[in-house]
Structure 1
């Protein structure tokens, strides 16, 4: 073989390798501009989201259907969670979002209890029916110091 032919074959082999690597990176990674059409954003307003972190799971009936995209402080000093949910999950307007814990000291997640209303939340709507996190430390201190009723 000529020297130029070997260089062309090696170059083609490298191009195929880079193309395969790029394909795998896009398939395994979270590329929003590729998967953005499969999800939508929904907001929820809480008094307290203690323990919830960006990336925490959002579940319906114990099945992970999304994740927490961001946590912000709203204009009225409420915590606002921005959740990214799968498009096939339709959330009725009478649904309740709750902060739950995986066991006693486990990770926190958002549990959405679906309502029965026919009207559904749209992209970017705010869920106001929420249940905030239970502060175990304050409950224990109230019980320990006798102020629990």
Structure 2
């Protein structure tokens, strides 16, 4: 009888550890595990197409996370997406001619913003805008362009 009780306890502990592991996995995938602390400064960037970029998506440079996407809005005058980036205070030497790209990471297709530094001696400050941007690559558009180019080759 004691043996059955011990195996039931071990199964319960194993199940509890499994649920805890699933919880941490869910937090990691949803980007909720590293909530913004509110410290840092804001930069803005305009994109023609942001794909499936979401608030709290990472902002990286050279593979290092510098901050997160703070907000996504729509500019009704230019018909572009206006993305607000929250950059941590310790990364305060980002050149004014930095280029912002939207990339896709991993099998789940999570999108993030990658910054490529320019060579300007002047740096971006709170409220400044990143002028040079590259929109997200949309798979459907790429397939459509490929099919169109193949159709044009077949017609000649």
Query: TM-score scaled by structure 2?
Result: 0.67
Note closer, same or farther for the CA distance 1:104–1:47 as it changes in structure 2 (3 Å cut).
farther
Residue number among 131, 135, 143 corresponding to 1:132 in the alignment: 135
1:20-31 counterparts in 2 under 5 A?
none
Which residue is 2:60 aligned to?
59
Q: What RMSD in Å do the two structures reach over aligned CA positions?
A: 2.3
Distance 1:121 1:148, change over 3 A: farther
Task: Trace 1:1-149 onto structure 2 (pairs within 5 A).
Answer: 35-36=37-38, 38-74=39-75, 75-89=77-91, 90-103=93-106, 106-145=109-148, 146=150
Distance 1:126 1:147 in 2: 41
Shift of 1:48: 0.9
Moved over 4 A (4+): none
> Quick check: 1:91–1:114 contact (8 Å CA) kept in 2?
yes
Structure 1 unaligned runs (5+)?
1-27
TM-score by length of 1: 0.70
Provide structure 2 residue ranges, at least 5 long, that are not aligned to the other structure. Answer: 1-32
Whether the aligned pair in 1 keeps the contact of 2:96 and 2:123 (CA below 8 Å) is yes
Count of residues in Structure 1 that have an aligned counterpart in Structure 2: 118
> Aligned partners of 2:103, 2:96: CA distance in 1, in Å?
20
CA-CA distance at 1:147 after TM superposition:
5.2
**What is the CA deviation profile of residues 82-109 of structure 1, one whole-angstrom value per residue up to 9, with x for unaligned ones?**
0000112121111100001114652100
Q: Quick one: structure 1 residues 116 and 139, their matched pair in 2 at CA, closer, same or farther if it must change by over 3 Å?
A: same
Tell which deviates more after alignment, 134-143 or 44-53. 134-143
Change (3 A) 1:148 1:101: farther
